[in-house]
Amino acid sequence: MSAVANATSRPRRNVVWGKIGSYVFLFVLAAIYLGPLLMLVNTSLKTTRTFNRNATAPAVEMNFGNFAEAWEKANFPQYLLNSALYATTATAIFVVTSVFVAFPIARGYVRYAGLLFTLYVIALFLPPALIPQFQLILRLGLYNNPIGYILLFIVNPIGMVILVNYMKTIPRELDEAAALDGCGYFRFVWSIVVPLIRPAIATVVVLHAIGIWNELILPTIYLTNKDYYPITRGLIVFQGVYGSNWPLLAAAVLMLTLPMVVLFLVLQRYIVSGLTAGAVKG
């Protein structure tokens, strides 16, 4: 009996130690990932004197005035409005157009659909053609123009790949039923396909909007007028003036990231539902 008891207790102990090891490993990963963010929050709540005295010590005074000061001195309202305009417009144009392009590729309703999809996959690994792109924007008269800047973001290969792969999971019987009912292509895609691929659309919206919001090289090249600066370009100007005031700069960086965090939280349930639905189907 004692031998049987020892045999049954050992697996339980192994399971317990395995869970403890998993939690420790996840805690270490979370600390590595959240450490810089917590350091940034801690810095933003300090005064300049407190930061210079001990940069790594926890904030005690909770100086929220850094956020108000950064908001005013960095011209954040104008830069945030510009970034929101660029991200919203470019993402909306890309999502609407890519849905109608991705569906016939996913279904094979166009010739060489497989080749087209392969070209999108290849485009994921190609570097951006900055020189031809710059020459094209310059000759079109769209240099230092918000419209030209938005046009730079209406193509996104990873978004097309995500949409095409997700549309392949939609049953073809829906296409046949819609054709029998006399439903047109645009009406079918907009009324039937789009509601079914909301998780994929949410994922594409988040990836595309974050990419535009965090872009720094393209606004530096194509936008020279301060009135057109996005938030990232404006932050560079702000850093050049107040680079020695680290608490103020940390507060500005946190305000820069907040809109994208809110967007992710709003669309998170769609992304999670899409992942769980795919797991159940698989």
Q: Which CATH architecture has domain 74-281?
A: Orthogonal Bundle (1.10)
* pLDDT in the model for residue 256: 86
Of the ranges 58-72, 105-119, 239-253, 262-276, the best mean pLDDT one:
105-119
C-alpha 40/C-alpha 30 separation (Å) is 16
pLDDT given for residue 188 in this prediction: 87
From the list 209, 210, 198, 190, the residue with the least C-alpha distance to 272 is 198
Mean pLDDT of the chain: 83
**pTM for the complete prediction?**
0.81
pLDDT tens digit sequence for 248-260 = 888 888 888 888 8
**pLDDT score at 280:** 39
pLDDT surpassing 60 at residue 278: no
What single-letter amino acid sits at 233? R
| Confidence check: pLDDT of 8 > 70 | no
- Residue-level pLDDT at 267: 80
Domain positions in the chain: 2-44, 74-281
Task: Quote the crossing angle between the two packed helices 246-281 and 231-242, to the nearest 10°.
Answer: 150
> pLDDT class for 96, splitting at 50, 70, 90?
very high
Dihedral (CA of 88, 89, 92, 95) sign: negative
Q: Is the pLDDT of residue 281 over 50?
A: no
The rounded distance, in Å, linking the Cα atoms of 76 and 68 is: 10
The pLDDT value recorded for residue 24 is 85
Question: How would residue 273 be classed by pLDDT, with cut points 50, 70 and 90?
Answer: low
